[in-house]
């Protein structure tokens, strides 16, 4: 793939990822776009799941790992996906990575 083709593809995917992030944040988040990860961390800690203290970025890492596992299954499985395509999974992976960056920035540098 040449550079021009790659950049065209990357720009289009980025545009789709932003649109998807805005739609999903409407459903899952408050005015704080990272609020669902913070709630999940509080819930995991309250339920004493796995470790004594969870951070919001732990939740984003967990969801990113689930998307990576899903993509792995989709790429290796011969069945056609019925609910979430490979392209949708790729977009979600990029969005979770961006959200993870926001959580890391907010927790480590943004204070």
Query: What's the pLDDT tens digit per position in 49-80?
Result: 877 778 888 899 999 999 999 999 889 987 78
pLDDT in tens, 7-61: 999 999 999 999 998 888 888 888 899 998 999 998 988 888 877 778 888 899 9
Among residues of the chain, what percentage have pLDDT more than 70?
97
User: What Cα–Cα distance (Å) separates residue 46 from each residue in 34, 50, 51, 52, 100?
Assistant: 19, 11, 11, 9, 22
Domains of the chain, by residue range, sit at: 56-111
Give pLDDT, residue 81: 85
Give pLDDT, residue 97: 93
User: What Cα–Cα distance (Å) separates residue 62 from each residue in 15, 17, 47, 90, 96?
Assistant: 24, 19, 16, 16, 10
Give pLDDT, residue 109: 61
- Is the pLDDT score of 105 beyond 60? yes
């Amino acid at each position: 793939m040449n550079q021009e083709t790659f950049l065209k593809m990357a720009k289009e995917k980025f545009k789709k990822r932003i649109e998807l992030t805005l739609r999903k944040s409407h459903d899952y988040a408050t005015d704080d776009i990272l609020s669902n990860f913070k709630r999940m961390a509080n819930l995991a800690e309250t339920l004493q799941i796995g470790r004594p203290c969870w951070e919001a970025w732990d939740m984003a890492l967990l969801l990113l790992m689930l998307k990576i596992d899903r993509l792995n299954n989709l790429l290796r499985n011969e069945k056609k996906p019925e609910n979430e395509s490979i392209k949708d999974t790729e977009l979600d992976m990029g969005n979770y990575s961006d959200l993870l960056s926001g959580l890391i920035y907010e927790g480590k540098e943004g204070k």
